[in-house]
Structure 1
Amino acid sequence: MATTQIFQETLFASSLMISVLKFDELGLEIARIAYPAALALTADPIASLVDTAFIGQIGPVELAAVGVSIALFNQVSRIAIFPLVSITTSFVAEEDAYSSQQNSVQDNKECTEEAGINNTKEEAQELIPENNKDSISDESKTSSSIFNVSQSPIRKRIIPSASSALIIGSILGLLQAVFLISAAKPLLSFMGVKHDSPMLRPAQRYLSLRSLGAPAVLLSLATQGVFRGFKDTTTPLYATVIGDATNIILDPIFIFVFRLGVTGAAIAHVMSQYLMCGILLWKLMDQVDIFNLSTKHLQLCRFMKNGLLLLMRVIAVTFCVTLSASLAAREGSTSMAAFQVCLQVWLATSLLADGFAVAGQAILASAFANKDYKRAAATASRVLQLGLVLGFLLAAILGAALHFGARVFTKDDKVLHLISIGLPFVAGTQPINALAFVFDGVNFGASDFGYAAASLVVVAIVSILCLLFLSSTLGFIGLWFGLTIYMSLRAAVGFWRIGTGTGPWSFLRS
Structure 2
Amino acid sequence: MTQAGGPAPKSARQHDREIVALAVPAFGALVAEPLFVIADSAVVGHLGTPQLAGLGVAAAMLTTAVGVFVFLAYATTAAVARRVGAGDLRAAIRQGMDGVWLALLIGAAVIAAVMPLAPALVELFGASPTATPYAVTYLRISALGIPAMLVVLAATGVLRGLQNTRTPLYVAIGGFTLNTALNVALVYGAGLGIAGSAWGTVIAQCAMAAVYLTVVVRGARRHGASLRPDAAGIRACAQAGVPLLVRTLSLRAVLMIATAVAARLGDASIAAHQIVLTLWNLLAFALDAIAIAGQAIIARYLGADDPAGARAVCRRMVQWGVALGVVLGVLLVAARPLFIPLFTSDAAVRDALLPALLVVALSQPVAGVVFVLDGVLMGAGDGPYLAWAMLVVLAAFAPTALLVPALGGGLTALWWAMTLMMTVRLITLWLRSRSGRWIVTGAVRA
On whether the aligned pair clears a TM of 0.5, the verdict is yes
Q: Structure 1, unaligned stretches of length 5 or more?
A: 1-21, 104-155
Cα displacement (A) at 1:478: 5.5
Q: What is the TM-score when the length of structure 1 is the normalising length? A: 0.72
Contact 2:85 2:302 in 1 (8 A): no
Q: What corresponds to 1:282 in structure 2? A: 214
Please give the residue correspondences for 1:109-258 in structure 2 after superposition, counting only pairs within 5 Å. 159-188=93-122, 190-191=124-125, 193=126, 200=132, 202-251=134-183
Report the CA distance shift for 1:246/1:301 in structure 2 as closer, same or farther (over 3 A): closer
Cα displacement (A) at 1:307: 1.8
Contact 1:63 1:337 in 2 (8 A): no
Secondary structure class of the residue paired with 1:353: helix
1:474 and 1:313 map into 2 onto residues whose CA distance is: 28
1:487 aligns with 2:422: yes
Contact 2:84 2:92 in 1 (8 A): no
Structure 1 range deviating more: 405-414 or 179-188: 405-414
Report the CA distance shift for 1:341/1:181 in structure 2 as closer, same or farther (over 3 A): farther
Secondary structure class of the residue paired with 1:99: coil
Q: 1:313 aligns with which of 229, 247, 264?
A: 247
Q: 1:91 aligns with which of 60, 79, 99?
A: 79
Q: What is the TM-score when the length of structure 2 is the normalising length? A: 0.81
Cα displacement (A) at 1:82: 2.0
Q: What corresponds to 2:444 in structure 1? A: none
Report the CA distance shift for 1:475/1:77 in structure 2 as closer, same or farther (over 3 A): farther
2:80 and 2:259 map into 1 onto residues whose CA distance is: 35
Q: Structure 2, unaligned stretches of length 5 or more?
A: 1-10, 442-446
Cα displacement (A) at 1:428: 4.2
Amino acid at match of 2:80: V
> How well do the aligned residues superpose, as a CA RMSD in angstroms?
3.6
Q: What corresponds to 1:398 in structure 2? A: 332
CA-to-aligned-CA distance 1:395-442 (integer Å, 9 cap, x gap) = 222334454335546777877776657544554443333322211110
Amino acid at match of 2:315: S
Q: 1:364 aligns with which of 288, 292, 298?
A: 298
Cα displacement (A) at 1:342: 3.8
Q: What corresponds to 1:131 in structure 2? A: none
Report the CA distance shift for 1:216/1:479 in structure 2 as closer, same or farther (over 3 A): farther
CA-to-aligned-CA distance 1:163-219 (integer Å, 9 cap, x gap) = 11010011112222333343345445555x26x576655544444443332111110
Q: What corresponds to 1:24 in structure 2? A: 13
Cα displacement (A) at 1:268: 3.8
Contact 2:78 2:378 in 1 (8 A): yes
Contact 1:68 1:325 in 2 (8 A): no
Contact 2:301 2:309 in 1 (8 A): yes
Please give the residue correspondences for 1:336-415 in structure 2 after superposition, counting only pairs within 5 Å. 339-406=273-340, 408=342
Amino acid at match of 2:316: R
Report the CA distance shift for 1:475/1:264 in structure 2 as closer, same or farther (over 3 A): farther
1:73 aligns with 2:62: yes
2:348 and 2:52 map into 1 onto residues whose CA distance is: 14
Q: What corresponds to 1:48 in structure 2? A: 37
Report the CA distance shift for 1:174/1:301 in structure 2 as closer, same or farther (over 3 A): closer
1:247 and 1:45 map into 2 onto residues whose CA distance is: 12
Report the CA distance shift for 1:265/1:276 in structure 2 as closer, same or farther (over 3 A): same
Please give the residue correspondences for 1:261-272 in structure 2 after superposition, counting only pairs within 5 Å. 265-272=197-204
Contact 2:76 2:161 in 1 (8 A): yes
Contact 1:190 1:326 in 2 (8 A): no
1:413 and 1:66 map into 2 onto residues whose CA distance is: 29
Q: What corresponds to 1:460 in structure 2? A: 394
Report the CA distance shift for 1:184/1:482 in structure 2 as closer, same or farther (over 3 A): farther
1:333 and 1:207 map into 2 onto residues whose CA distance is: 28
Contact 2:32 2:172 in 1 (8 A): yes
Secondary structure class of the residue paired with 2:227: coil
Amino acid at match of 1:348: L
* CA radius of gyration, larger in: 1
Q: 1:448 aligns with which of 382, 388, 394?
A: 382
Secondary structure class of the residue paired with 2:87: helix
Q: 1:292 aligns with which of 205, 211, 227?
A: 227
Q: 1:497 aligns with which of 432, 441, 445?
A: 432
Secondary structure class of the residue paired with 2:438: helix
2:427 and 2:263 map into 1 onto residues whose CA distance is: 29
2:54 and 2:264 map into 1 onto residues whose CA distance is: 12
1:217 and 1:420 map into 2 onto residues whose CA distance is: 37
CA-to-aligned-CA distance 1:342-373 (integer Å, 9 cap, x gap) = 43332233122112112111111121122212
Report the CA distance shift for 1:457/1:470 in structure 2 as closer, same or farther (over 3 A): same
